[in-house]
Structure formats: structure tokens, C-alpha cells
Structure 1
Amino acid sequence: MDLNIKMEHAVNILVANDDGVFAPGIQALAKALKPLGRVVVVAPESERSGYSSALTLDRPLRPVQVAQDVWAVNGTPADCVYLSMNGMFDFEFDLVVSGINSGANLGDDVLYSGTVGAAFEGRLMKHPAIAVSLAGPNVRSHEHVEDYAQAAQWVHDFIVQGLPELPARHILNINIPDVADIQGMLYTYQGRRTQSKPITSQVDPRGRQVFWIGLAGEAVADPVKQAANIQSDFFAIANKYVSITPIQMDATNYTLLNSLVD
């Protein structure tokens, strides 16, 4: 891809996430992007991980301003971007950046990720919307605030050097490995996992049966893509590279579609 979309003038940047408006990742990201223009944070009032692109349709949404250009919303990550792009403000945004998520969003994770869901709500921007996640152990620890700052600076530099030109309704899903030892970056394909681990059943103190969703399955390599020297997002993170995956809204399998309509 040619890096040819330059941020040559000050822009309006919308920053959202699924970890909540006070999460260290979103605070670091907003701070790092401020030299590029006006940065407005609109994020859930509390953690909303796993909400994908869900919109709230059964109750009103109430944005509350908690600081200058910082708003907390009693809704989902996608709600935050939808409101911001459809009348909450009297100006338009040039770029949507979602994150920095606490933990990776690799492979099948993008189906559930609120971080990716928020970015997809920004898919109609003039620049590609970006979802950013930080991989690595214990990224939820308050001791890792500096890691988020370094990851946010990487995002700033990536934007400044020029965003890849993408077709309409595509976004970039970016996963950043342990910032202490980044080896570079790779454009990757979305990997896949084996079936999720079984659910865990327990009985609560009142004798009621409850269930925990099982852990995600293991990553599976695609030998065809590997033979073409194209690596997965899982491979990139495992080898300490930043993974940049272009993903799209249109999930139609056109090869299969054409065979069905012939």
C-alpha cells in the first residue's frame, strides 16, 4: 500500500474506545494526537468490552461532558461514534481513532470487539478509521501507563507519515506488541482461531447455576497465505511486530455468490 493520505492541515479527530472514558489507553491516545488538531473524546462511561457494533435502541443516550472536549456516554462504543457523527457536534470529524484497547484484538476477536465496532462506525470518514489495541501481559495494570504512552506515540507517528489509501467502508485494525521490543510493522491478514474453550459451569452462593464464557481458541496458521509470504495478525504480535490489518464491512463471499447465481 502507498502511504499517501497526509495530515497536512489541522484536523478534527474523534477518539473513542470500549474500556471507558477514563481508561489509560484512551487518555494516552488523546494526548498523543493533540498536536495533529482538535481531539474530541467521546467514550462509554464505563467498560463496554465485547459490544461489537451494537447500538442502543431501547433507551435514550445521555452524553455528559466531564472535561473540555471529553464526553462520557451511557451507551456502547458504537453509540459514541454514531452520536458524534450524526448531530452531537456542530462540526465534522476528519478521522476516527478507537482505542487504545487493553489487550489484543486479533483474528476472530474483531467480531466481538467494541474497539473495532467503534472504528467501523467511522468507516465513512475521508480518512480510514483506525482501531488500536495493545497486546502484552498485564496491560490492564496501572503500572503500564507508560506503555500506553509509547503505543499512542507510535499511532501518532503512523498517522503523520501518511495513512494507507483504502477502499470505502474499510478500516485499519492495529495491534501493538510489547512496546519495549517492537521489531517493526507488518501488513497482515486477519487470522483465525480454533473453536473456543468449553464454558465453565458453577453454582452461586444461592444455589443457582451460572456459566462463564470459555477462553478463546488457539490461533491457526493458513498455509496458503504463508506460502505467499503474507502473515497473520497473530504471527506479527508473536514476533513483536505491529500488526496492521485492513478489514471491511462487506463480508460477502463473492466467489461463492457467483457460483450460486450462475
Structure 2
Amino acid sequence: MRILITNDDGIHAEGLEVLERVARQLSDDVWIVAPETDQSGVAHSLSLNDPLRLRRVSEKRYALRGTPTDCVIMGIKSILDMPPDLVLSGINRGCNIADDITYSGTVAGAMEGTLLGVRSIALSQHYRWSDMAGPDYNTAEVHAAEVLRQLLKVDLPKDTLLNVNFPAVPAKDVRGTKVVAQGKRSTDAMYVDPRRDGRGNPYYWLAFNNQKTTSPAGTDLTALEEGYISVTPLHLNLTAFELFGNLEAVLS
């Protein structure tokens, strides 16, 4: 099995190294094409007005000055002589759940793999940034290979991908794995943090608070809070079929 790995945290990210070790438990044919710099939050974007600068880091390991989407395209259409059997994107620094999915470059890497006809899975490690120095990737590293082995047994329909998140608990405290729906964050989760530079000029940070969000059972938000690994199947088709009737009624 040939595996192509990408991420959005960049070629030097700890999570990428962890995912490589996980992938090597599944295959000895592992390729990496990851962004040269941090591309968090770029979503499913393409570099159309800038050239893609590719740097060979070592055997089967490349850094690309571009987005995760660019990386997957370059990997499949230019670097590899044959398409991979699996695209893995991550392991992201922080969870990608609820509305985060729409911003995530990690999920977008898996989306692009899916668009190109390759089974694709995004993986992320949750952490509580208010009281943790950073993600404990050991949780993902201990559990990811077995989770992936089980997920590879499932035939995915066309244009679907899987989004996997590991909870912010020690590996031994993971309670299991749940298949859950995408949750919904509060509209207060993001805010604008106004500041001033040394000359008094204003600048702004987009920021997220760390408040817990009440979410219905059966969602990724709830699963992670309860200490479960969350697995959410995602579909690329965004059509809201339930609105067909109402729209046809007003347009006919």
C-alpha cells in the first residue's frame, strides 16, 4: 500500500513526524509532501497567482511552498509515478471539529485526495490550549494505527472522506471510538482581539475562546469531551436537497 502524507502545520511539525511513524506501521511505501510553512486555516485553497516552489528534503519527503491542497495535487500529479492508495492529512495541532472543518487545511488535504479519487483521512489531536503547553501526540500515536486499520476495512462511497480526532486525554484514558456527526460551535467561539503596535497603530488578531460548547449527544464536540476518539464521515457534495421544493415553487 502506498501512502501519501500531508498536513497544514508545515514540514517541520511534530504531528507530521508522528503521522509518518503511524503510517510506517501500515506500509513501507510512505511519501510526504507538506507545506514549507504553517498553512493553518487556509481551508481548501489553491495557489493560482504564485509559483509552487518544491524542495526535496530527503528520500520520499518534499516541502512545497503552497497550501495542503497544492501539496496533494503535486504529490499525486507530479511527484509520485503512480497514485497512492491512501492520503493521510495531519496529525493536526488541535482538533478539527464542528465549524472548524470548513477552515481546516488538514481536512482540505483529505478533501483534495478524495476529489482525485484516493481514499483520504484527516487526523487531528485535540488539546486545551488554556491549560496545556501543547498537544500530547502520544495519544494519537498509540491509537491511530489500529483505528486506521479498522477504517481501511470500510468501502467509502465516492466523494466521501473521514475526519478523525483524538481527545485531550492520556492514551490509557481513551474510552473508545465513536462514529459521530459534525457538531456546531457557538457563534461566540471566535472574536476579534484589537491591539496597537509600538507606534500606536491598530492591528487585530482573530482569536478563539476556550469555552466548552453545549452540543447534542452524537457529535464530535461531545465525543472529544467524553474522552472518545471521534470519526466523522464527510461528503463533498454540499447540495441542500431539502430546499429543492421550496426553491422550485418560487422560481416556477
TM-score w.r.t. structure 2 length? 0.88
Q: CA deviation at 1:220?
A: 4.3
Distance in 2, Cα, partners of 1:92 & 1:101 = 23
Aligned counterpart, 1:242:
229
| SS at structure 1 position matched to 2:71 | helix
C-alpha RMSD over aligned residues? 2.1
| SS at structure 2 position matched to 1:167 | coil
**Deviation string, structure 1 residues 3-48 (Cα, Å, up to 9, x no partner):** xxxxxxxx11001001111111111111221132211011011211
| 1:102-113 equivalent positions in 2, closer than 5 A | 102-113=93-104
| SS at structure 2 position matched to 1:72 | strand
Distance in 1, Cα, partners of 2:156 & 2:248 = 29
Residue 219 (str. 1) matches residue 229 (str. 2):
no
Aligned letter for 1:244? Answer: V
Residue 260 (str. 1) matches residue 247 (str. 2):
yes
Aligned counterpart, 1:155:
144
CA pair 140-71 structure 1, distance change in 2 beyond 3 A: farther
- Is residue 33–residue 63 contact of structure 2 (8 Å, CA) maintained in 1? yes
Q: CA deviation at 1:121?
A: 0.6
Give unmatched runs, 5+ long, in structure 2: none
Deviates more, 1:37-46 or 1:196-205: 196-205
Equivalent pairs counted in the alignment come to 242
Distance in 1, Cα, partners of 2:24 & 2:116 = 19
- Is residue 32–residue 62 contact of structure 2 (8 Å, CA) maintained in 1? yes
Aligned letter for 1:158? Answer: V
| SS at structure 1 position matched to 2:32 | strand
Aligned letter for 2:245? Answer: N
RCO comparison, higher one (Cα < 8 Å, 6+): 1
Aligned counterpart, 1:28:
18
Aligned counterpart, 1:59:
50
| SS at structure 2 position matched to 1:261 | helix
| 1:65-144 equivalent positions in 2, closer than 5 A | 65-124=56-115, 128-137=119-128, 141=133
- Is residue 133–residue 176 contact of structure 1 (8 Å, CA) maintained in 2? yes
Residue 202 (str. 1) matches residue 195 (str. 2):
yes
Distance in 2, Cα, partners of 1:90 & 1:73 = 18
Aligned counterpart, 1:7:
none
